[in-house]
Structure 1
């Protein structure tokens, strides 16, 4: 690990601890490949694992055109989901867990078989999925004011924050992922609509992309793991006291509640 990578890792881990964002780090890595950003992210995951956290899945970020336009990037990325990131539906989430949180509606895959690229096809991915769930992802940036480019968000574990899963598992064969419409409500107000087809044409394509991207890095998508394929809408800011509901056609609804400040 180079001194620049070590400095970036320490800065991002420090932001998690202090809940104080840092300045963008991309300028420190001018002309460096994105593999270096993933090295920074992986080092943070290893640090969390040493503290007892456990990887429970992965997320694909920046998968929809709406999110790419919002963030000013042109390609997906991926991050790790750990056990500490998962919150129970309707159980108030402590507002001080995050720095500048936003929320996104997604269709979560739960795997029943391992997936490892390269060479994974749509057929392979569909066969590996045990069931799907409605989900809300809380994205958060340790970079000040969300001033992120692709290098910054990759290094920051794809801006991962938290996950709330719904409780209505549905078999993949019982749902058309592309046509699954979504309505997102924040504090009772309809803020966005979308559909599964906004995610790389189909969320299943995002799962294929993920397996074929992490496979050459020595990573297998494990049975029981959750994969978030990407948001169906733009991300929306949330705050203490917020209540968020995503209704997804064919999957039901999922609700996240942010606790009030003490």
Structure 2
């Protein structure tokens, strides 16, 4: 009787010293994350989560949220900026899943408190045209397999506890902060667009015209369509592939802004096409 008791005491002592994420299983963490998502509250105790558990948590969380938000319609790519990767000690992005009712058309205002820790980002959506994109090795090849690009303002949620240092794994676990987003009208794909995507200037401005963030297209992995290449390769390693019609959120151009009640944020894409390209969202 003493040996089993001793083993139980040792196990209890070890669990007591482990990070919260390591002491919980995938299902329990995902249930906490789903409850927090619905309550627009933070998820604590994820600082010690490992990449394998994080992937399981994300998959389980997405399945849970799909009951309310509809089926997956694509992916979002995060940690696409060099500065953020260096801050977190990684050399690669992470990906999350976009669900149907996460995306909206421009028009209706959005509550400023739409998330536990709201982040407004200038982004861009690539619409997959055909499965050949999975073999693309350059931005120009990616573009040949897209049906459209759409301006996109992501309304993300960094739902992690502010007193816990984020990691690539903890960000992945909460589905890379996917929550809401406003998608604009499709941008025509024409000759020279691949080059313009790298050299364009993307900015976020408030209602007074003040610049909140600004970055070149190359701020995303050297070229925004490199995010599609990375995602296709990452999915291939998991035995999956990009499918026609899927929407890919390519990442944030510059640092995020904070929503202000009664305020407006506009994303502008200067140099992307001959006609001005912009998209706005109003907060209430």
User: Do both share a fold (TM > 0.5)?
Assistant: yes
Q: Aligned-pair distance for 1:159?
A: 1.3
Q: Does 1:224 align with 2:245?
A: yes
Asked whether the equivalents of residues 126 and 172 of structure 1 are also in contact (C-alpha less than 8 Å), the reply is: no
State the partner residue of 1:179: 199
Compute the TM-score of the two structures, normalised by the length of structure 2: 0.81
Counterpart CA distance in 1 for 2:170 and 2:69 is 26
Compute the displacement of 1:26 (Å): 3.1
Task: Select 2:161's aligned residue among 144, 157, 172.
Answer: 144
Q: How does 1:1-12 map to 2 (within 5 A)?
A: 4-12=25-33
Q: CA deviation at 1:51?
A: 4.4
Match of 1:157 in 2: 175
Bigger shift: residues 224-233 or 197-206:
224-233
Once the two structures are TM-superposed, the CA of residue 49 in structure 1 deviates from its matched residue by 2.8
Does residue 89 of structure 1 match 2:106? yes
Cα distance, 1:91–1:51 mapped onto 2, change above 3 Å: closer
Determine which structure has more spread, i.e. the larger CA radius of gyration.
2
User: Is 1:243 matched with 2:249?
Assistant: no
User: Structure 1 residues 200 and 35 mapped into 2: Cα distance closer, same or farther (>3 Å)?
Assistant: same
Q: Which structure is higher in RCO with an 8 Å CA cutoff and minimum separation 6? A: 1
State the TM-score, normalized to the length of structure 1: 0.87
CA contact (8 A) 2:205 2:266 kept: yes
Once the two structures are overlaid, the 10-residue window that deviates more, 76-85 or 127-136, is 127-136
Q: Tell me the residue number matched to 1:77.
A: 94
- Which of 112, 117, 120 does residue 129 from structure 2 map onto? 112
Residue 198 (str. 1) matches residue 219 (str. 2): yes
Distance in 1 separating the partners of 2:42 and 2:28 = 15
- Deviation of 1:48 after TM superposition, in Å, equals 2.5
Structure 1 residue 24: Cα displacement: 3.5
Separation in structure 2 between the aligned mates of residue 174 and residue 222 of structure 1, nearest angstrom: 25
Q: Helix, strand or coil: the match of 2:225?
A: helix
Deviation, structure 1 residue 97: 3.1
The total of aligned residue pairs comes to 252
User: Cα 1:37–1:241, aligned 2, differ >3 Å: closer, same or farther?
Assistant: same
3-state DSSP class of the match of 1:206?
A: helix
Check whether the contact 2:207–2:264 (CA below 8 A) recurs between aligned residues. Answer: yes
Q: What is the root-mean-square deviation of aligned Cα atoms in Å?
A: 2.2
